[in-house]
Amino acid sequence: MGNFLSGLLGGRQHKDEGLGLYKSWVGGQSRDLTVATEVEAGAAPHLLERKVDSRKAVEAAKRPLWQKRPPFYTEARERARQGDPRLEEISINVRILEQSLAEIQKADKTSKKELFKPLTDAEENEVYGCFTGGPSSKVLVLHEPSNIEITKEKFQCLRPRCWLNDEVINLYLELLKERETREPKKFLKCHFFNTFFYKKLAKNGYDYKSVKRWTTRRKLGYELIDCDKIFVPVHKDVHWCLAIINMKENTFQYLDSLGGMDHNVTNILARYITEEVKEKSSKAIDARLWREEIVDIPLQQNGWDCGMFMLKYIDFHSRGLSLDFSQVNMEYFRMRTAKEILRLRAD
């Protein structure tokens, strides 16, 4: 080994200098920021004296140790695309879909901001003023298209710890339908049955004839088969639930804010929509074969907010949004619903 180093050093350097050069050489392998100097000419050809190049050091400092690179498949796709024109078309379609997804996500964030927009001080004062004082028989609002009037007494159900009544629920559903008519591109095409529909349909087990005239094209301006979703409020003694008929995905949902399930409701609705489509649209479907979809939903944590949960299930679903709310939002939703009823306009 000594002879080897001596040969490399040309016999002109001290033995300790060989060890130093070796350490210098090894230390420069991890991150080479050096350039060769003239000393190399006098040293052995493989053990060179190095010094730091300041320009390379600055450039290295600017460059992060870890740098995000595009996914491997992107590079591979670009290489393959050069030899296949069909991949160019696919790539264009992918970019279009990515752009559309970004726009949808942006719109979704905007919609959710609208869903939790705080009331102004003036709006809160107006609502509180209708909760207190004055005769209970005073009519606060009259919705002429449906002939639903809300008296001060009926309006009280929107206060905390109160059960919602038919009048408030049905008026709010009318406002949701009017909202969709105003902005059809922003909301799904839906039908909102009132709180009396299911009770009449399920009377004596099943009675299609009693509700047959509720959904004529002349009355609605459309047929149920044309809808994205159909909402059916279900009242069980002292508890509100919601059934949804999804006409586009051929599914049923039963949403109970206490976590319950009633297959009898979906069976009755499957029978109804099968008969309804045949009667009004002259088309044969068998909704009894449709899937019953079980989904996670926000649940109530008390004994009085079932009606408000039901209304917000409808509100969010009619927007095509996930049910991103919880019990803590119910007090706000009561105030917001009260404001919208007083204005006869759902936002």
Same domain, 163 and 289: yes
Q: What is the mean pLDDT of residues 79-87?
A: 66
Residue 56's Cα: distance from chain center in Å?
Answer: 49
Verify that 39 and 138 share a domain, yes or no: no
What percent of the chain lies above the pLDDT cut of 70? Answer: 70
Q: Answer whether residue 73 is part of any domain.
A: no
Q: State both tokens at 212.
A: 């047959």
Domain contains 106: no
Range of the domain at 276: 118-343
270-320 residue pLDDT tens: 999 999 999 999 999 999 999 999 999 999 999 999 999 999 999 999 999
Asked if residue 177 has pLDDT above 50, the reply is: yes
Structural domain contains residue 89? no
Is the same domain home to 128 and 245? yes
281 is a domain residue: yes
**Looking at the domain assignment, is residue 74 inside a domain?**
no
**161 and 237 in contact (C-beta within 8 Å)?**
no
Mark whether 28 and 163 lie in a shared domain.
no
Q: Is residue 249 part of a domain?
A: yes
pLDDT per residue over 90-102, tens digit each?
767 777 777 656 6
Query: Does 316 lie in the same domain as 171?
Result: yes
- In this structure, are 187 and 55 located in the same domain? no
28 and 170 share one domain: no
Q: What is the pLDDT of residue 60?
A: 55
pLDDT higher for 72 or 21? 72
Q: Do residue 43 and residue 133 come from a single domain?
A: no
Q: How far, in whole angstroms, is CA 78 from its chain's centroid?
A: 33
Active site residues: 239, 256, 306
* Residue pLDDT, tens place only, 218-252: 999 999 999 999 999 999 989 999 999 999 999 99
Q: How many CA atoms lie within 13 A of 249 on its CB side?
A: 11
pTM (two decimals) = 0.70
Instruction: Confirm whether 90 is domain-assigned.
Output: no
Q: What angle do CA 267, 273, 276 make, to 5 degrees?
A: 140
Inter-residue contact 236 to 261 (CB < 8 Å): no
Whether 29 has a pLDDT exceeding 60, the answer reads no
- Domain-ending residue, one of 15, 39, 62: 62
Domains of the chain: total: 2
Q: How far apart are CA 10 and CA 328, in angstroms?
A: 84
**Shared domain check, 165 and 40:** no
pLDDT at residue 55 in the model = 59
| Residue 141 sits in the same domain as residue 243 | yes
What CATH number is attached to the domain comprising 261?
3.40.395.10
